[in-house]
Amino acid sequence: MQPKLTLLSEDLIPRILEEAYQLMLKPGVKVLNAEARKLLAEAGAQVDEETFVVKIPEQIVHKALETIPRQFHLYDYEGNPRVQYGDDAVHFDPGSSGVTILDPDTFEHKTTETHDLIKLIKVAEQIPQYDAQSTAVVCDDVPKDLHDLYRLYLVMLYSKKPIVTGAFTNTTVHHMIEMLAIFAGGREQLREKPRAIFDVCPSPPLIWSNFGAGNLIALARAGVPAEIVSMPLAGAAAPVTLLGAVTQHAAECLSGITIHQLAKPGSPIVWGGAPAIFDMRKGGTPMGAVETAMIDSSYAQVGKSLGLPTHAYLGTTESKVLDMQAGLESGMGALIGALSGINMISGAGMLDSLLCQSPEKLVIDAEGIAMAKRMIAGMKVHTETLATGFYDNNINFKGGDFLKQKITMQLFRKEQHIPSSVIDRDSIRGWKEAGGLDTFGRAKLRVKELLASYTPPVLDPVKVERLHAFVFDLAHKAGMDTLPAHELAPATP
């Protein structure tokens, strides 16, 4: 039995949905993309072309909800299904769109470049707790026009895992779909076995930007999964109450889903988000606050009541260094997300309210994630009798009796998660002899080990060649003669 956390009582869910439908009529949803407004108008929504506010009646939304796939998968490079969206499957991926990386020696938050993203990919590639890669940081050493697709390019070269990504414009989303199609072997193959999912963000409150709605339409038509990342900020860009934020989240997601399904019924889309409460002292968006996690858990429950796949941003922190705050906020977030049965939980590795990535945090978070995954694996009945069968004739009433049982050897790995060297369970003496390191010190060592043990994926050279050519062509158009050097860059561009 997978243990579940449910914060909403049964009677609250219909109330949330009822009010979300009301919000879509009054005040309505502001849609800044002409094509999306056209799709909505044709379906029967009332569009004000002066204010771009669209009043979306419930029936159109219901129709969209009927055509959404309840379940789909993301595939790895080889085409194996690795991530299940739907039901209570739980996966984790590193948080994305960071702009800095924590220097583990100086604690400086440095602007990220090509080599930083590669380091993050190499570490995440080898950690089984991450079922997908993310395009974790923006690389400042390439022009802005390439920022989104260049991240995807590097992940495709250095990883075989599924990818959580996102486009920054309505042009580049098409480029990125094309890049994925090159590796998939064509548009149709990409549609059948998508490797990546694209985060698409509405702007709170109740706004679909030109770019957000444009991305929804492009992704729907390509049949590449979209993940709505709705971000109500309770108390600033959404009602101060947690339930008010959950309701606005529902309205933003439902309106997005409607645009998406009108563009192409049956395309995969996810009920996701990155909400937060609004910090009333600093004006920040505390991603590690427990109330933030409560909003996430609750909207996931609403999404599940509609039978939809879910996503959330959890397991992250406001802390600037890898300290106790980082640990407790990230660990609690991961556990709440897992117990809520959220299909994809993004945020691992991130500090400073999703601005700063850290490979060292990735290896520490992996342990919290492992604990959360063990928790939701639940209490298992492995044996016919629960205990009596263990007390055979060899029991001498000694403490070590059970260590000598074959079944102990057979089952201990199934019952216990064996932590990596990041977790210390040594005696004080063993700990001192190992260097007397704290979590951060052990994480630094583990990152060094992972970077040393990384081997590049074996990819089809013809596809890689085509990918290089495609990205280099775009780089030329963006005014670059060459792209930054790195170990898997082509010898002759």
Partner 1 sequence: MFEELYKQMAQSIIEGEKETAIELAQKSIELGIPPLDAITNGFVVGVNYIGDLFGKGEAFLPELVMAGEAMKAAVAVLEPELLKLGEAREMMGRVVLATVEGDIHEIGKTLVGTMLSASGFEVVDLGVDQPAEKIIGKALEIDAQLIGLSALLTTTMVRQREVIEELDKEGLRPRIKVMVGGAPITREWAEKIKADGTSEDAVGAVQLAKKLVGKD
Q: Tell the smallest beta-carbon distance from residue 433 to partner 1 (Å).
A: 7
Question: CA-CA distances (angstroms) from residue 492 to 298, 398, 407, 465?
Answer: 52, 69, 58, 11
Q: Give the residue with the Cβ less far from partner 1, 41 or 423.
A: 423
10 Å CB burial of residue 143 (0-12, 13-18, 19+) is middle
Q: Which residue has the tokens 């109740």?
A: 206
Q: Give the residue with the Cβ less far from partner 1, 400 or 435.
A: 400
Q: Give the residue with the Cβ less far from partner 1, 281 or 414.
A: 414
Q: What span, in angstroms and rounded, lies between the C-alpha atoms of 230 and 249?
A: 6
Structure tokens at 131: 């079922």
- The contacts of residue 456 (CB under 8 Å, 6+ apart) are 157, 158, 487, 488
Q: Give the residue with the Cβ less far from partner 1, 128 or 461.
A: 128
Q: Tell the smallest beta-carbon distance from residue 399 to partner 1 (Å).
A: 4
Rule CB under 8 A: is residue 380 a binding residue for partner 1? no
State which amino acid sits at residue 383. Answer: T
Options 406, 462, 479, 491; binder of partner 1; rule CB under 8 A: 406
3-state secondary structure of 350: strand
Q: Tell the smallest beta-carbon distance from residue 408 to partner 1 (Å).
A: 5
Q: Tell the smallest beta-carbon distance from residue 355 to partner 1 (Å).
A: 35
**Considering only 326-334, 365-373, 405-413, 451-459, which stretch makes contact with partner 1 by CB under 8 A?**
405-413
Helix or strand run (H / E) with residue 458: none
Q: Tell the smallest beta-carbon distance from residue 130 to partner 1 (Å).
A: 22
Q: Tell the smallest beta-carbon distance from residue 398 to partner 1 (Å).
A: 7
DSSP string, 354-408: TTEE-HHHHHHHHHHHHHHHHHHH-----SSSSSGGG--TT--S-TTGGGG-HHH
How does 360-398 read in b/e, with b if 16+ C-beta sit within 10 Å? bbbbbbbbbbbbbbeebbeeeeeeeeeeeeeeeeeeeee
Q: Tell the smallest beta-carbon distance from residue 430 to partner 1 (Å).
A: 5
**Considering only 133-141, 298-306, 406-414, 459-467, which stretch makes contact with partner 1 by CB under 8 A?**
406-414
Q: Give the residue with the Cβ less far from partner 1, 27 or 430.
A: 430
Options 412, 448, 473, 477; binder of partner 1; rule CB under 8 A: 412
Q: Tell the smallest beta-carbon distance from residue 209 to partner 1 (Å).
A: 51
Check the CA dihedral 387-391-397-403 and report its sign: negative
Q: Give the residue with the Cβ less far from partner 1, 253 or 370.
A: 370
Q: What span, in angstroms and rounded, lies between the C-alpha atoms of 249 and 113?
A: 33
10 Å CB burial of residue 110 (0-12, 13-18, 19+) is middle
Q: Give the residue with the Cβ less far from partner 1, 107 or 431.
A: 431
Rule CB under 8 A: is residue 403 a binding residue for partner 1? yes
- The residue ranges of DSSP E strands in 124-278, in sequence order, are 133-134, 163-165, 196-200, 207-208, 226-230, 233-234, 269-273, 276-277
Question: Please, what is the Cα angle at 429 between 423 and 432, to 5 degrees?
Answer: 65
Q: Give the residue with the Cβ less far from partner 1, 281 or 398.
A: 398
Q: Give the residue with the Cβ less far from partner 1, 186 or 419.
A: 419
Options 404, 448, 476, 477; binder of partner 1; rule CB under 8 A: 404
**Per-position x/- string for 294-333, each x denoting binding to partner 1 as judged by CB under 8 A, each - no binding:** ----------------------------------------
Q: Tell the smallest beta-carbon distance from residue 151 to partner 1 (Å).
A: 35
**Per-position x/- string for 383-402, each x denoting binding to partner 1 as judged by CB under 8 A, each - no binding:** ---------------xxx--
Helix or strand run (H / E) with residue 175: helix 172-184
Q: Give the residue with the Cβ less far from partner 1, 428 or 458.
A: 428
Rule CB under 8 A: is residue 408 a binding residue for partner 1? yes
Q: What span, in angstroms and rounded, lies between the C-alpha atoms of 235 and 307?
A: 29
Residues touching partner 1, count (CB under 8 A): 16
Tell which positions 418-457 bind partner 1, by CB under 8 A.
418, 421, 427-430, 433
Q: Give the residue with the Cβ less far from partner 1, 106 or 416.
A: 416
Which residues sit at the interface with partner 1, rule CB under 8 A? Answer: 398-400, 403-404, 406, 408-409, 412, 418, 421, 427-430, 433
